């Protein structure tokens, strides 16, 4: 069994389904977790409000972990939003909002987290991208671009910090039920399922298990990788 005892982790966007599942999984494996949120405060001992799309917010989040808990071993960049619409009708504001949170936020948090990780010569960064970043998704030019950019960030950072025993990997969830999925018609859901070889959608726990593995010592020789958690979709 994976053991994260003594580790300190930060999970951004921890009030959402994926983020909360990842935070719970890391806690169950022994880590002390800082649950970051922007609007909805999660029920957690270490919950910290910060807008990670700003350098001030990202730095404050990392500073809290280091000052309150003594170190930072794991960063899970999960914070993300959607502003869907066809590209020709998409506003510049909707483009910027998604890129700022989903991509810039991950960069800012990683930049802040790398200082303590490099100093202690060890750490794990796990970025939550999406199959949309691998294959694109109509109506999500901003979201798909941000998630594809996150893959590039993952691979670049991995090369920069590997010599200091810091790994940087990504997980790419496929269709996982969420508030957005609940609003999809049964006909549309069936059409999606037809393209998934395993015949079902994923669960937040499916994603959380992969995050936990990449955050563990068992994944010490894995870096710069993107693990699709999509039931064979891609």
Q: Which of 37, 64, 143, 175 is catalytic?
A: 143
Q: Which of 171, 173, 172, 169 is nearest to 224 (CA)?
A: 169
Q: Is 75 helix (H, G, I), strand (E, B) or coil?
A: strand
Q: Is 221 annotated as catalytic?
A: no
Q: Which of 142, 148, 133 is nearest to 90 (CA)?
A: 142
Cβ-based neighbours of 147, under 8 Å, separated by 6 or more:
102, 103, 129, 130, 132, 133, 172
Question: How far apart are alpha carbons 168 and 61 in whole angstroms?
Answer: 19
Question: How far apart are alpha carbons 80 and 6 in whole angstroms?
Answer: 28
Question: How far apart are alpha carbons 50 and 13 in whole angstroms?
Answer: 10
In the block, tokens 């790398």 appear at 114
Catalytic residue annotation:
143
């Amino acid at each position: 069994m994976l053991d994260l005892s003594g580790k300190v982790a930060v999970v951004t966007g921890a009030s959402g389904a994926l983020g909360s599942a990842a935070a719970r999984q890391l806690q169950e494996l022994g880590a002390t977790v800082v649950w970051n949120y922007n609007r909805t405060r999660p029920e957690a001992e270490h919950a910290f409000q910060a807008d990670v799309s700003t350098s001030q917010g990202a730095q404050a989040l990392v500073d809290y972990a280091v000052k309150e808990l003594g170190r930072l071993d794991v960063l899970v960049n999960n914070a993300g939003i959607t502003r869907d619409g066809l590209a020709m009708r998409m506003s510049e504001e909707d483009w910027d909002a998604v890129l700022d949170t989903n991509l810039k936020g991950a960069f800012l948090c990683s930049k802040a987290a790398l200082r303590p990780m490099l100093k202690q010569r060890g750490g794990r960064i796990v970025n939550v991208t999406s199959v949309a970043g691998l294959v694109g998704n109509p109506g999500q030019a901003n979201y798909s671009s941000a998630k594809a950019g996150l893959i590039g960030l993952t691979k670049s950072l991995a090369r920069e910090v590997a010599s200091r025993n810091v790994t940087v990997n990504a997980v790419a969830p496929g269709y996982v039920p969420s508030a957005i999925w609940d609003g999809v018609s049964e006909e549309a859901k069936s059409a999606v399922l037809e393209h998934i070889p395993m015949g079902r959608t994923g669960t937040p726990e499916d994603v959380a298990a992969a995050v936990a593995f990449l955050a563990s010592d068992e994944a010490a020789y894995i870096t710069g990788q993107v693990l699709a958690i999509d039931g064979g979709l891609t």
